[in-house]
């Protein structure tokens, strides 16, 4: 492990700033095939990953066409791409049975059953399907606690296993293990906890300050300690218990670096939730959000082009904003290097 880390550090010194920034960008693709724009972005080294949505599926012959899509994306890149998807199960389910994919169930269902074999069974079906399609990152499992039964983003969609941190940790770890069998990276979400919210961050600010509970950190704490974490996704929630300034988690250095890295000892990749969600775009704007998130400690920034009103933000725009900040010294190159090494370390497991 020491040898790998040293080798990655040496490579990070050799690779250009452009390559390093490109690896930090995760973007959505338009259409149902790899178009010339996304392929050019990848070939130019300005994209480190692609997120797949249902808009990228064909109605017929879905499996083969989607496999061709991911294959073309990977072929265009010298460095392995993150090919990602939200395949939690239940309602949050891109690979639906109408496309002839296997049936999935929600985390809430699995939590109520509390049967380890069932959780592994469904986790393995999901992981095997993703691996066959060439999708190597699943934005799951959710480790939010079902604290607020009226939560519009977590409880309403049955995305949490339980309101018990012990139960959530147990079933999330089983799901991670099933994915690791097929070499699919899992991403725990949404740090530092979205289960107590009363608002939807797709639509605007969600402030959990009065409702958030310390136990919402417990699944992260135990799973990090047990080596059960591949990667973690941020939440766009405001939590003044953890950051008195009121910055959303994604943009907060006290939360991302102070708590997740320093207090909990997490050393892996941090993915942002979609930077085009209105909790971010309506209140901070593109440039400020990029600056704050990177300096907070986020490694991979997601721009899905899947939120209404934000489809036109191009890879080139985001890339040039980040490069400009580095050239101006507002973001240090050391900060970029740190993310680059974490990303390369995670991707190295596919070789």
The pLDDT mean for the chain works out to: 92
pLDDT at residue 141 is higher than 90: yes
CB 323 within 8 A of CB 17: yes
Flag whether 254 is in a domain.
Answer: yes
| 2 domain-assigned | no
Q: Structural domain of residue 295, as residue ranges?
A: 25-312+338-350
- The CATH number assigned to the domain holding 135 equals 3.20.20.300
pLDDT reported for residue 349: 84
CA-closest candidate to residue 153, choices 237, 252, 84: 237
Strand 185-191 with 137-138, pairing: parallel
**Is 39 inside any structural domain?**
yes
Asked, for residue 144, whether it belongs to a domain, the answer is: yes
| pTM reported for the whole predicted model | 0.93
The residue whose two tokens read 């338009």 is 30
Exposure class string for 136-173: b at 16+ Cβ within 10 A, else e? bbbbbbbbbbbbbeebbbbbebbbbbbbbbebbbbbbb
CA nearest neighbour of 235 among 209, 201, 269, 204: 201
Is residue 9 domain-resident? Answer: no
pLDDT tens column, 187-239: 999 999 999 887 655 556 789 999 999 999 999 999 999 999 999 999 999 99
| pLDDT on residue 198 | 76
In a domain, 29, yes or no: yes
Helices (H), 52-184: 62-75, 107-113, 116-133, 165-181
> Domain for residue 323, yes or no?
no
Judge residue 87's burial from the number of C-beta atoms within 10 Å of its C-beta, 0-12 exposed, 13-18 middle, 19 or more buried: buried
Let me know if residue 7 belongs to a domain.
no
- Total number of domains in the chain: 1
Answer whether residue 115 shows pLDDT above 60.
yes
């Amino acid at each position: 492990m020491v040898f790998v880390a040293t080798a990655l550090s040496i490579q990070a010194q050799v690779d250009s700033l452009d390559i390093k920034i490109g690896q930090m960008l995760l973007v959505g693709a338009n259409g149902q095939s790899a178009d010339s724009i996304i392929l050019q972005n990848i070939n130019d080294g300005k994209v480190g990953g692609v997120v797949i949505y249902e808009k990228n599926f064909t109605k017929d012959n879905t499996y083969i066409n989607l496999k061709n899509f991911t294959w073309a994306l990977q072929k265009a890149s010298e460095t392995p791409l993150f090919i990602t998807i939200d395949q939690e199960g239940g309602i949050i389910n891109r690979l639906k049975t109408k496309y002839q994919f296997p049936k999935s169930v929600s985390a809430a269902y699995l939590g109520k059953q509390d049967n380890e074999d069932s959780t592994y069974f469904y986790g393995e079906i999901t992981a095997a399907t993703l691996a066959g399609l060439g999708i190597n990152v699943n934005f799951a499992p959710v480790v939010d606690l079902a604290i607020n039964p009226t939560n519009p983003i977590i409880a309403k969609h049955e995305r949490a296993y339980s309101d018990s941190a012990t139960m959530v940790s147990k079933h999330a770890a089983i799901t991670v293990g099933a994915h690791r069998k097929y070499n699919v990276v899992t991403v725990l979400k949404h740090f530092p906890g979205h289960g107590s919210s009363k608002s939807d961050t797709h639509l605007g600010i969600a402030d959990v300050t009065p409702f958030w509970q310390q136990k919402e950190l417990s699944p992260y704490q135990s799973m990090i300690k047990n080596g059960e974490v591949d990667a973690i996704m941020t939440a766009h929630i405001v939590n003044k218990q953890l950051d008195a300034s009121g910055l959303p988690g994604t943009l907060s250095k006290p939360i991302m670096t102070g708590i997740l890295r320093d207090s909990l000892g997490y050393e892996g990749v941090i993915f942002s939730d979609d930077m085009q969600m209105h909790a971010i775009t309506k209140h901070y704007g593109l440039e400020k959000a990029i600056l704050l998130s990177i300096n907070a400690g986020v490694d991979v920034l997601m721009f899905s082009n899947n939120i209404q009103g934000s489809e036109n933000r191009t890879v080139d725009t985001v890339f040039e904003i980040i490069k400009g900040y580095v050239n101006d010294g507002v973001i240090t190159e050391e900060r970029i290097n740190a993310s680059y090494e974490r990303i390369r370390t995670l991707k190295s497991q596919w070789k």
